[in-house]
Amino acid sequence: MPFSTRTLVLSGLGVALVAGLAFVAFREDPVPVDFAEVTRGPLEITINADGQTQVRDLFEVASPITGTALRSPVDVGDPVRANETVVAIVQPSFSGLLDERSRLQAEAALQEALAARHVALADVQQARETQSFAQTQYDRTKALVTRGVASITRLEDDNQRLKVADAALEAAVARTEMADGAVERARASLIDPGQSASAPSSCCIELRAPTDGVVLSVAAISQRPVTMGSPLVSIGDAEDLELVADILSNDAVRLDIGALAYVERWGGPGVLQARLDRIDPKARTKVSALGIEEQRVDAYF
């Protein structure tokens, strides 16, 4: 029997719906893929490492004597100029190191040195008189030989005595110089540490900046006792920086001086470029977070 148009339309829609559901149920999921443009370019092998910046040339100002470092005249960040800016002031320690017995021994040594010097001066005077007499005898004999009165043998004997007298005079003068040194050494043993014979009115030593730059660190702001060689101030040029990266030694042997490096996450926008300057020749052993011993070296850019 004939079907109405409405029945045919509904039947067609039902068949289409069933076919669509069957297609969705039995179709395979699409595979996700990435698309990129293929180009030719140089191959770059990178080594990733963390690093930190530091001043290239660091100058440490240390105390030249034992004493008291007064309150620091500079603070961190202050600019300094070479041989002009006073960066530290040290007051010498005047504590005497000689007890009464040592002082008496030093004074006796000084008197002994002065007496030895007096003897040496007397020896010089005696040697000078002997040399003068030998010279006179030689000149007289030479004149007699010229007139044929004295023999050549006598002239040679006088010449030999003159040379001996000259050598004795030189030795006596040298002993005098040795005695002078002994006197100065004995006098120096009586000087208290920190005393200055050339500048008795100066109580403190002012240390000036060895180079232009800024103060990077101060050991202590307040006054404190220090020993010889104690660090006081660190100075450097804050604009002359280098980058130090800790890398594996087997990666370091693959790097050439002048290799290009990219500095990321340095605190500013963009990526900085650096060049490898040098690598430490000696590695050190470090334990990684996984407990593995590694040989690492510092690379400087």
Stronger pLDDT, 53 or 11, i.e. the higher one: 53
Give the pLDDT of residue 73: 92
Q: Which of 188, 218, 251 is the last residue of a domain?
A: 188
Same domain? 150 vs 74: no
The pLDDT of residue 215 is 92
Q: What is the pLDDT of residue 233?
A: 93
Residues 105, 232, single domain; the answer is no
What digits encode the pLDDT tens for the residues 90-100? 988 765 555 67
Cβ neighbours, 10 Å, residue 158:
21
Query: What pLDDT is attached to residue 289?
Result: 78
In sequence order, which residues have a C-beta less than 8 Å from that of residue 301 and are 6 or more positions away? 51, 242, 243, 244, 245, 261, 263, 274, 275, 276, 277
Total count of domains within the chain: 3
Q: For residue 150, what are the domain limits? A: 100-188
Residue with token string 């900046």: 209
Would you state the pLDDT for residue 205? 86
Degrees, nearest 5: CA angle 84-88-94: 125
pLDDT band at 24 (very low <50, low <70, confident <90, very high): low
Residue 120 in tokens: 């040496």
- The verdict on 144 and 182 lying in the same domain is yes
- Do 253 and 119 share a structural domain? no
Tokens of 275: 């060049």
pLDDT band at 199 (very low <50, low <70, confident <90, very high): very low
pLDDT at 99: 62
Q: What mean pLDDT value characterizes the chain?
A: 81
In this model, does residue 200 exceed pLDDT 50? no
The per-type count for the chain, helices as H runs and strands as E runs, is: 4, 15
Residues 203, 205: Cα–Cα separation, whole Å: 7
For residue 92, tell me if it sits in a domain: yes
Q: Is pLDDT of 25 > 80? A: no
**Are 164 and 291 part of one and the same domain?**
no
Residue 8 lies in a domain: no
Instruction: Decide which of 151, 168, 188 is a domain's last residue.
Output: 188
What's the rounded Cα separation, in Å, for the pair 301 and 275? 5
Q: What is the 3-state secondary structure (H, E, C) of 149-207?
A: CCCHHHHHHHHHHHHHHHHHHHHHHHHHHHHHHHHHHHHHCCCCCCCCCCCCCCCCEEE
Q: Is the pLDDT of residue 198 over 60?
A: no
Residues 115 and 249 placed together within one structural domain of the fold: no
Regarding whether 224 and 245 lie in a shared domain, the answer is: no
pLDDT at 12: 67
